[in-house]
């Protein structure tokens, strides 16, 4: 597609029926950039891309768009609107039309939406080896906030003294939201409520208080903790992490070293970026692949 034709790109709201075409593009685009840098693909097969986009395109609290050229879908982007901070992604563009302006249009569509909705900020996580996505986001006003190490494995230490890890229940929601406010300045209660319903969420209790929670110990889950000790309890409770792994902030040297000493392996470097409000977290955290 010659550059002049990018003017013919139209952006519209995604529907469930778009997930088949957009999901294949999502798989191909991530596989292509990962292969080019000798990293394993984020998604195991096209069906995973289709499954994720079917879920996002039909989930309340998400605003999703597709890009079309001549009636053919050439990319998609999603915005998680469930908190006062919005989470962006996955954004992907058909490999045959990348670097021609389609990604910028998909970004503008969800950033316009986010500002119309009065979000305090927008965040995303990008593959640190991807020059183009870093440049696109930085050019659109996103600042690099945290280098992340995606980590996978099973910790040798299987529990942390004084910390009890258990499945989260609806009754834990309020305490988790208070914890999130203390650490991040806002809560992600809708996301956590959904994870509790799905049965993936966990909490840590220490000294009679909830000191950490995770929506899931996985690429698509986030975790917030009062201290590294509480985060270690969550990590030690998992047999493995869903998808490519959990996203450990690389500047949290104590936590990173604990993970390494416990046998976890780094699978890829990633970067947390933000536009708008950002507070340095006052505690330990693992962002999800959205933020
Ligand atoms: C990342 C992606 C969505 C971007 O979409 P795209 O249509 O290729 O990107 P665009 O052409 O709109 O924008 C690319 C921008 O990066 C710039 N750019 C590209 N390579 C660059 C480099 N090496 N250095 C500096 N700038 C660069 C381009 O000039 C353009 O900037 P501009 O908008 O200011 O002109 C797409 O490439 C993709 O699907 N990649 C694989 C999947 C992926 O990594 N998704 C992102 C997940 S976080």
* Per-residue model confidence as pLDDT tens digits over 35-77: 999 999 999 999 999 999 999 999 999 999 999 999 999 999 9
Q: What is the pLDDT of residues 15-29, one digit of tens each?
A: 999 999 999 999 999
Q: Measuring from atom 5 of ligand 1, which residue has the nearest CA? A: 103
pLDDT tens for each residue of 192-211: 999 999 999 999 999 999 99
Using pLDDT thresholds of 50, 70 and 90, give the confidence band for residue 5. Answer: low
Instruction: Tell whether the model's pLDDT for residue 1 goes beyond 90.
Output: no
Q: How confident is the model at residue 181 (pLDDT cuts 50, 70, 90)?
A: very high
Task: Please tell me the residue having the least CA distance from ligand 1 atom 25.
Answer: 135
**Ligand 1 center to residue 30 CA distance, Å?**
13
Contact 271, 67 (CB under 8 A): no
Atom of ligand 1 nearest to the CA of 127: 48
Q: What is residue 4's predicted lDDT score, i.e. its pLDDT?
A: 44
CA-CA distance, 219 to 242, in Å (whole number)?
A: 6
What pLDDT is recorded for position 283?
Answer: 98
Nearest Cα neighbor of 81 from 106, 54, 117 is: 117
Q: Each residue of 140-169: pLDDT tens digit? A: 999 999 999 999 999 999 999 999 999 999
CB-CB contact of 213 with 204 (8 Å): yes
131 CA → ligand 1 middle, Å: 8
Give residues (CB < 6 A) around ligand 1: 29-30, 33, 89-93, 98-104, 126-127, 130-133, 135-136, 139
Averaged over 75-85, what is the pLDDT? Answer: 98
**Which residue of 3, 35, 99 sits with most ligand 1 atoms within 8 Å of its CB, as the best mutation to test the pocket?**
99
Please tell me the predicted confidence (pLDDT) of residue 123: 98
Give the pLDDT mean for 95-105: 97
Give residue 6's pLDDT.
Answer: 57
Query: 98 alpha carbon to ligand 1 midpoint, in Å?
Result: 7
Residue position matching structure tokens 């390494």: 260
Q: Ligand 1 centre and the CA of 99: distance in Å?
A: 5
Read off the pLDDT of residues 236-284 as tens digits, 9 standing for 90 and up.
999 999 999 999 999 999 999 999 999 999 999 999 999 999 999 999 9
Mean per-residue pLDDT of the chain: 96
Testing ligand 1's pocket by substitution, the residue of 42, 68, 103, 124 carrying the most ligand atoms inside 8 A of its CB is 103
* Predicted local distance difference test score (pLDDT) of residue 7: 63
Distance 135 CA to ligand 1 centre (A): 7
Give pLDDT, residue 38. Answer: 95
């Amino acid at each position: 597609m010659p550059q002049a034709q990018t003017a013919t790109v139209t952006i519209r709201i995604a529907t469930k029926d778009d997930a088949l075409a957009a999901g294949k593009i999502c798989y191909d685009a991530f596989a292509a950039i990962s292969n080019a840098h000798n990293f394993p693909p984020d998604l195991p097969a096209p069906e995973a891309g289709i499954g994720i986009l079917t879920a996002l395109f039909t989930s309340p609290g998400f605003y999703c768009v597709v890009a079309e050229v001549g009636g053919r879908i050439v990319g998609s982007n999603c915005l998680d609107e469930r908190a006062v901070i919005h989470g962006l992604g996955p954004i992907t563009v058909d490999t045959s039309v990348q670097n021609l302006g389609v990604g910028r249009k998909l970004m503008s569509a969800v950033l316009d939406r986010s500002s119309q909705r009065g979000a305090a900020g927008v965040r995303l996580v990008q593959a640190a080896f991807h020059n183009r996505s870093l440049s696109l986001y930085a050019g659109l006003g996103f600042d690099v906030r945290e280098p992340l190490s995606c980590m996978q494995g099973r910790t040798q230490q299987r529990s942390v003294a004084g910390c009890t890890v258990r499945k989260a229940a609806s009754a834990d929601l309020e305490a988790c939201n208070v914890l999130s406010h203390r650490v991040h300045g806002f809560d992600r209660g809708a996301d956590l409520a959904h994870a509790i319903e799905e049965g993936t969420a966990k909490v840590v209790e220490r000294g009679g208080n909830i000191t950490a929670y995770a929506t899931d110990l996985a690429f698509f889950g986030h975790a917030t903790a009062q201290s590294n000790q509480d985060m270690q309890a969550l990590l030690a409770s998992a047999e493995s992490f869903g998808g490519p792994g959990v996203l450990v902030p690389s500047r949290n040297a104590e936590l990173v070293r604990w993970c390494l000493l416990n046998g976890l392996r780094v699978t890829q470097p990633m970067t947390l970026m933000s536009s708008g409000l950002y507070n340095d977290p006052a505690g330990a955290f693992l962002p999800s692949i959205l933020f």
